[in-house]
Structure 1
Amino acid sequence: MRPEEELSVEVEGAGGRAQRLGAEGGALVLSEGGARLRCWPLHAVRLKPEPQGGALLLEAGGEVLTLGCAPDARAALLALAAPGAPSDAALAALLEDAEPDEADAERRVRRLAERLARLDALNVAGMLAAATEGGGARLAERLDAGGAAGAALSARLARLEALTRAAPAALHARSGAARADAAARALLAELGELYAWLDHPALADLDALGEVSLGSAEGRARALAAAEALSGALEAGERAGEARLRLGAVRERLRRLARARDALAAALARHLNNALVHLGNEATAGAARPGAHHAELAPYAPFARWLRRGDARAHAALLRVYCAAWARVHERAVRAWAERARAELAAGPPERAAEPLDAVLADAEALLDAEQDFCVRFFALDEERGAARRLAGELFPALEAELAALVAAAERRDAYGAMRALAVAGRRALGGDEAEGERWARAALAAVAVAAKRGADRAVAERLAAMPDAVRAAARRPKCGVLSFIPELEEMSAVCEDIFARGRRADLDRWYLSLGTGALRTVQQATHPRTPRAVLLMENCHRLHACVSALRVPALEPLRREARARYAEALRQYVTQQFGRPLEKLATFFEGVGEAVAAGVREDEVCFRAAYSKHELRRVLALYPAPEVRRALHRLYRTVDKHLSDEGGLLQVVWRAMQEEFIAQHVALQARIAACYPGAGLALPLSTQDILDAFSDIAREH
């Protein structure tokens, strides 16, 4: 029976009702009394005779109907809905044009479109049936037959397109033919891809993948090719659509691939585990240096990366084995380096302490960089942020503790040991490229720098706390002199400037400011039982000002100015207190003269008063002969020398300030004599030049 011919037979439905079952345009229609009851696509209907009796079973859409009919009608219906691919005659009947001379083009196009739709449905149904019935081999046979049928279909479609182009209104027919052709080609491509996936050359023997040999380069190459192909096949299966996954062959293939993946992962994990344990035992026994195993394990890096994707648990177990084996090796190496450095610190001078510290940090940095590069590359740690950092703590559990202990040893050995460690670790921690990202070595060096910085801050805090003790110790000396913490600051600045000559000095400037401010505050609060407070302030502020000025640190500029002002004020106060008025009675006489002038007496008339007469002035001047003035200056010099200390170095400075003060008083008195007693021939016992010579002679004599 041709598919486009209509078929209609009488059947007996439920309850003995008379119904009609017929084929109309690719569909099976059940009607009763001229009214349609049900309609199913012909390709979705299964008709089969009832095992007992002459009834017909109709299965469609998940339901089963039992219909009674005559034997000839039952045979016609069974032939219409027979399963399987359409015959060549049926396909030809769909494509043949039985009425080439039909004048109604639109009706002709509609009819052709209906035929194409039925052809499409029958073609897909046939292909799917072929794919599910016989697995891969059956599918290959069907594929070959489908290729031949496809060629015939292409020729017939070309004829169909020619016929549709001949009709004036055949646009709809042409578009339908194109859709059918595209659908057929897509189906062929899908089947070709499916066949290639089912029969991959690298996966020809899935059951033998668990027996791979990784001992030779050739075996590793074959195993790696099989592993990559296996991963690709599984990923392709996971991406398959729901329609493909309904195929039994696809599901079975996926199960076999999963079993092969598990077997291969177990074999790879077993081999890598044995290799890691063996190399770890050799390194623990001292037969190999740290890092020598990297070259031996490098050929297995692709397999470790594959395990990370294929079996995460096995990959994690390998990481644990690696860490357990080499953590002991690295701990022993780091401890040996630290012991060597401690011995060199104890035997060498303090100023050479940076060399053993730098050597240990260089060895640790090289080992950390090598391990990080290997682990990231071998275990594919670059695919997960944070995993590499955690691994560093497991591989080097005692590194930071050993380095911190080494810094503590340097701190105990030398007062500036923590500063030296900070400079060395800081240069190495900050010397890398920022583009390198997070490096294990940089983190370890930063931890060392933090430990050293804490030690240096602690040393500075101890210096600050010891300043009051320095004041109490100075009180037991005859002279206060320069307090001990100021020379210590000078020494520290000299040493630390050399230590941090090539590194950051932010911490150093902060220490300077803290110690300098503390020193100035302590000096201002200090007292001494035998040294005048002005001398204590003068000497210590002068020394502190010199120390801060030599550093040339912008942050210390306010401290420098304050120390300078405190020194100048203390010097002025001391000169005023100690020098006083060496010509006391003469100064008192001229104070009275000044008061009379202020009261309205003319300067040239003051001499006519009895208390300020020329005779009285001569009497007062006679009290201060030149030798007596020199003796008074000698007594003053000895007093100043008794107060000032040698380390202060200010004796000549103070003596010069007193000289200037004496000359200023001498000039003022001489000017008053000239104004109030003109032409009297009166003068002070010493001239200005005599005073300068006297001060110079006294300084040379002492």
Structure 2
Amino acid sequence: MTAIKHALQRDIFTPNDERLLSIVNVCKAGKKKKNCFLCATVTTERPVQVRVVKVKKSDKGDFYKRQMAWELRDLAEVDAKDASKENPEFDLHFEKVYRWVASSTAEKNSFISCIWKLNQRYLRKKVEFVNVSSQLLEESAPSGESQSVAGGDEDALDDYQELNAREEQDIEGMMEVCEYAISNAEAFAEKLSKELQVLDGANIHSIMASEKQVNILMQLLDEALSEVDTIEGKMSSYEEMLQSVKEQMDQISQSNRLIQISNTNNGKLLDEIQFLVNYMDLSKGHIRALQEGDLSSSKGIEACINASEALLQCMNVALRPGHEKLMAVKQQQHLFTELRDTFARRLTNHLNNVFVHQGHDQSSMLSQHMAELTLPKHNPLHRDLLRYAKLMEWLKNTQREKYEGLSRTYVDYMTRLYEREIKDFFEVAKIKMAGTAKEGKGNKFGLHGSSGKLTGSTSSLNKLAVQGSSSRRSQSSSLLDMGNMSASDLDVADRTKFDKIFEQVLSELEPLCLAEQDFISKFFKLQQHPTLAQVEVEESDGVVPSRQPPPGEYRHFISSTEKDMVRLMMNKVFQSIETELNSLIALGDKIDSFHSLYMLVKMSHHVWTAENVDPASYLSTTLGNVLVTVKRNFDKCISGQIRQMEEVKISKKSKVGILPFVAGFEEFAELAETIFRNAERRGDLDKAYVKLIRAVFMNVEKVANESQKTPRDVVMMENFHHIFSTLSHLKISCLETERREAKHKYTDHLQSYVINSLGQPLEKLNHFFEGVEARVAQGVREDEVSYQLAFNKQELRKVIKEYPGKEVKKGLDNLYKKVDKHLCEEESLLQVVWHSMQDEFIRQYKHFEGLIGRCYPGSGITMEFTIGDMLEYFSSIAQSH
């Protein structure tokens, strides 16, 4: 290790003006062993800088190189891991922790000891040494100024002290005086020793010569001590004088403290008296207002409000401990209680009289409103009563029983008043509805589309015959009813009148309920005390209310919200609205089941409006309940239409044409689109559309299968063409799939009808070529078909001769007449079918010619007529008819 230390000093540290003090061979903890050296160094220049340098061998291993260096002042902690056992591991905490394993514990301890000494000597900020043996540090500590620590260069480091400039000058001067100072150091040292002895002797003689001055100094000290004794005596006399003054000052302080306590007590007593006078004194004006105030005038009501608020403040004042024992306080509290009870009785009696008086005035106005289908407005009553809102709040806070009694009185009175008004109002609405129904002939209501006019053709609808029922037709309109209605029987204005009446009813009820709910919330201040909700619930359930509800019920109602309590009162006041609305809806549905469409749209709109204002209000809840009934009637109307479609029976002696429920669906859709335009419940109509159209599809196929007079393809073709035209015209997005399906069915059955019909005019020719195609399909080559006995050239010529041009034209003319008998006039499909037959006939002609060319090559056999002849036949037949 000594050789390594010498090499490192020579190669690395001497060129950098550094001295190597200690070295330790280490490797990093936890990694593959790559040995390196940690060196403790100091610089030779001033100021001294102390470093820890990491040195390792080069990759070739022939020289050492400096890898990393840390300043010792950046070292925060040295952790030796274990102070009692030998452990080669240690950590150095710089900006991060470096973990090392020394080659031996002795090297580790020597290095840590050197670091400790450098830290003690050169650094102000001391490094913390953890898990280091105290014995190791004590051994490193110097025992005296001249003691040195063994260890080579470390001893030199501890003993070395630099000379200052003056010492250097003195030494240089001394050496100049003595010429042999350098050549003979022993002689120079002996001379210096002799001169030092001479100086010591001179110092001793000088000390002995100063004995006289010492004696004089001792005498002066004795005089000073006597003066101190004198001063101490005077201080004692002064202290005795101050002691007597202290006793007098203590007596004066005690007297002042007693005076201060008396003043404090007097101030507090005055504060208590002022507190009682300020907060428990009610003016004579307020007392007069509570006892005699006029509760019928605005000025008197305002005076009573101010007086009641002042009384409540006096009664609710927070008395301090002991106040309740004062006789004056007891008298004031008794006076306040009497004033409270007196005013509460006066206020209760007056408000009861106001309820009754306003009720009579309101009833007198009832008749003039009923004739116009309007409900009386209660704004004057609400305006007059709201003047007492603050007094009601006072009554609620002071006399709960009287407050609840007034609440019950108001609710009972308003329940009877509103029940009478609402009942008469709905009677007028029912009379107007019944009058509207009687205006229509036969109590039947016509349909109107988006244009306000009747749609569809009634002549074809009149051919529907409903079998299996001999009773009188119900007043409810249906898709089947429209088959028996002529244009003169349908009054477009009837449903419009019903719609206006129903809208008028809802428009009158909505502001009435909102105004009453707003008044109840403001007048009774329900948001502060929920107890009233309990009273109203008990009354609505038919239970006699008690003053003290059971604890469980009270906890239940105390948790109710303001909206719940207001709604409970509203349920009591307007308990007849939902019943009357359901009765009116039942009447409208009985008059005409299609009224449910109007009612669903109107009711949905009003429910939506009410929910936007207050989702938990009485109006929103009630209209929502009624909307369920209207939706149920709407569903029942749709189910009725489907059921009546399924009961349709077609006459066996007449052609079918456009089925009544197909035409009826068109009129229903036009009516519904008009009613549900921009409606909130469009989704309900879309669902009904799907149910109806699927029922129409199913029953069209059912009737087509049962038809005996008209071919199935014709029934399917005409009706699905009508359905496709209707859906294309109305553009109902939810029925787009059904529209495409209707078009597909129409096209398929048109093609089927054309192919089946064309087989009749050229029946033998068709049979012949079908046989030819069958032979080819069985494997016979096309050019060998002519060798078949039944399909030789002679047989082909024989069949072709049977169909000259005149016969073909005659057959086509008969076919046209037959198609004309099958098709109905309403759909106007005759020319479409005829043109399709022409195209199909030409396709068959070309197909026959192709077969002749392939199966009878070189025979020269051709048809008796050409394509031009065929076009002329079809055109002349169409024009002649």
Instruction: Work out whether the TM-score is over 0.5.
Output: yes
Q: Which residue number in structure 1 is paired with residue 723 of structure 2?
A: 544
Alpha-carbon distance in 2 for matches of 1:508, 1:601: 61
Conserved 8 A contact 1:400-1:444: yes
Of 278, 283, 291, which aligns to 1:196?
Answer: 278
Alpha-carbon distance in 1 for matches of 2:775, 2:691: 56
Structure 1: gaps (5+ residues)? 1-98, 128-145, 148-183
Amino acid at match of 2:347: L
Conserved 8 A contact 1:361-1:445: no
Alpha-carbon distance in 2 for matches of 1:440, 1:194: 48
> SS where residue 386 of structure 1 aligns?
helix
Conserved 8 A contact 1:408-1:418: no
Of 633, 637, 661, which aligns to 2:816?
Answer: 637
Amino acid at match of 2:589: E
Amino acid at match of 2:676: F
Q: Which residue number in structure 1 is paired with residue 362 of structure 2?
A: 283
> SS where residue 431 of structure 1 aligns?
helix
Alpha-carbon distance in 1 for matches of 2:241, 2:525: 70
Give the TM-score taking structure 2 as reference length: 0.54
Of 503, 507, 528, which aligns to 1:358?
Answer: 503
Conserved 8 A contact 2:717-2:745: yes
User: Deviations for 1:237-285, whole angstroms, at most 9, x for unmatched residues?
Assistant: 4xx5656556565555444433432222221111111111111123234
Alpha-carbon distance in 2 for matches of 1:119, 1:692: 140
Conserved 8 A contact 1:290-1:329: no
Q: Which residue number in structure 2 is paired with residue 459 of structure 1?
A: 637
Q: Which residue number in structure 2 is paired with residue 372 of structure 1?
A: 517
Say which structure is richer in helix. Answer: 1
User: Deviations for 1:210-241, whole angstroms, at most 9, x for unmatched residues?
Assistant: 4432133332222111111122233334xx56
User: Deviations for 1:79-127, whole angstroms, at most 9, x for unmatched residues?
Assistant: xxxxxxxxxxxxxxxxxxxx9956999xx99x999x98x999x779x95
Q: Which residue number in structure 1 is paired with residue 488 of structure 2?
A: none
Of 309, 332, 354, which aligns to 1:228?
Answer: 309
Conserved 8 A contact 1:202-1:226: no
Displacement of 1:394 in angstroms is 2.5
User: Deviations for 1:137-173, whole angstroms, at most 9, x for unmatched residues?
Assistant: xxxxxxxxx23xxxxxxxxxxxxxxxxxxxxxxxxxx
Q: Which residue number in structure 1 is paired with residue 676 of structure 2?
A: 500
Q: State whether structure 2 residue 525 is matched by structure 1 residue 525.
A: no
Alignment of 1:333-412 (within 5 A): 333-345=421-433, 346-347=435-436, 349-352=493-496, 353-383=498-528, 384-412=562-590
Conserved 8 A contact 1:203-1:230: no
Q: Which residue number in structure 1 is paired with residue 21 of structure 2?
A: none
Alpha-carbon distance in 1 for matches of 2:615, 2:783: 92
Q: Identity rate of aligned residues, in percent?
A: 32
Amino acid at match of 1:485: F
Point out the more displaced range, 503-512 or 341-350. 341-350
Conserved 8 A contact 1:381-1:387: yes
Distance 1:401 1:628, change over 3 A: same
Displacement of 1:680 in angstroms is 5.2
Q: Which residue number in structure 2 is paired with residue 575 of structure 1?
A: 754
Of 399, 412, 416, which aligns to 2:594?
Answer: 416
Alpha-carbon distance in 2 for matches of 1:438, 1:446: 11
Alignment of 1:199-218 (within 5 A): 199-201=281-283, 205=287, 209-218=290-299
Q: Which residue number in structure 2 is paired with residue 319 of structure 1?
A: 407
Displacement of 1:189 in angstroms is 5.9
Matched pairs, number: 537
Displacement of 1:553 in angstroms is 2.8
Amino acid at match of 1:199: D
Q: Which residue number in structure 2 is paired with residue 665 of structure 1?
A: 844
> SS where residue 692 of structure 2 aligns?
helix
The one of the two structures with greater contact order (alpha-carbon pairs below 8 A, sep at least 6) is: 2
Conserved 8 A contact 1:307-1:315: yes
Amino acid at match of 2:415: A
Q: Which residue number in structure 1 is paired with residue 862 of structure 2?
A: 683
Conserved 8 A contact 1:670-1:683: yes
User: Deviations for 1:578-627, whole angstroms, at most 9, x for unmatched residues?
Assistant: 33364344344445655676788876676688766655443332111011
Q: State whether structure 2 residue 478 is matched by structure 1 residue 302.
A: no
Q: State whether structure 2 residue 874 is matched by structure 1 residue 695.
A: yes
Conserved 8 A contact 1:290-1:330: no
Distance 1:563 1:312, change over 3 A: farther
Alpha-carbon distance in 2 for matches of 1:480, 1:617: 41
Of 499, 509, 515, which aligns to 2:692?
Answer: 515
Alpha-carbon distance in 1 for matches of 2:316, 2:664: 73
Alpha-carbon distance in 2 for matches of 1:100, 1:401: 107
Amino acid at match of 2:513: L
Superposition RMSD on alpha carbons, in Å? Answer: 3.9
User: Deviations for 1:615-649, whole angstroms, at most 9, x for unmatched residues?
Assistant: 54433321110111122223333333333333454
Conserved 8 A contact 2:571-2:618: no
Alpha-carbon distance in 1 for matches of 2:677, 2:599: 14
Q: Which residue number in structure 2 is paired with residue 269 of structure 1?
A: 348
Displacement of 1:521 in angstroms is 2.4
Alpha-carbon distance in 2 for matches of 1:299, 1:645: 77
> SS where residue 430 of structure 1 aligns?
helix
Amino acid at match of 2:522: R
Alignment of 1:144-163 (within 5 A): 146-147=266-267
Conserved 8 A contact 1:284-1:328: no
Structure 2: gaps (5+ residues)? 1-239, 369-375, 440-492, 529-561
Q: Which residue number in structure 2 is paired with residue 33 of structure 1?
A: none
Conserved 8 A contact 2:352-2:409: yes
Amino acid at match of 1:355: K
Alpha-carbon distance in 2 for matches of 1:522, 1:254: 88
Alpha-carbon distance in 2 for matches of 1:391, 1:100: 91
Of 544, 562, 567, which aligns to 2:741?
Answer: 562
Alpha-carbon distance in 1 for matches of 2:875, 2:324: 115
Displacement of 1:290 in angstroms is 4.0
Amino acid at match of 2:708: P
Point out the more displaced range, 511-520 or 410-419. 410-419
Distance 1:445 1:701, change over 3 A: farther
Conserved 8 A contact 1:203-1:229: no
> SS where residue 690 of structure 2 aligns?
helix
Alpha-carbon distance in 2 for matches of 1:591, 1:514: 44
Distance 1:305 1:616, change over 3 A: same
Alignment of 1:572-611 (within 5 A): 572-580=751-759, 582-591=761-770
Distance 1:567 1:599, change over 3 A: closer
> SS where residue 303 of structure 1 aligns?
helix
Point out the more displaced range, 228-237 or 505-514. 228-237
Alpha-carbon distance in 2 for matches of 1:262, 1:475: 88
Conserved 8 A contact 1:212-1:267: no
Q: Which residue number in structure 2 is paired with residue 50 of structure 1?
A: none
Amino acid at match of 2:579: A
Alpha-carbon distance in 2 for matches of 1:696, 1:440: 74
Alpha-carbon distance in 2 for matches of 1:361, 1:422: 12
Displacement of 1:667 in angstroms is 0.9
Displacement of 1:684 in angstroms is 1.7
Distance 1:204 1:621, change over 3 A: closer
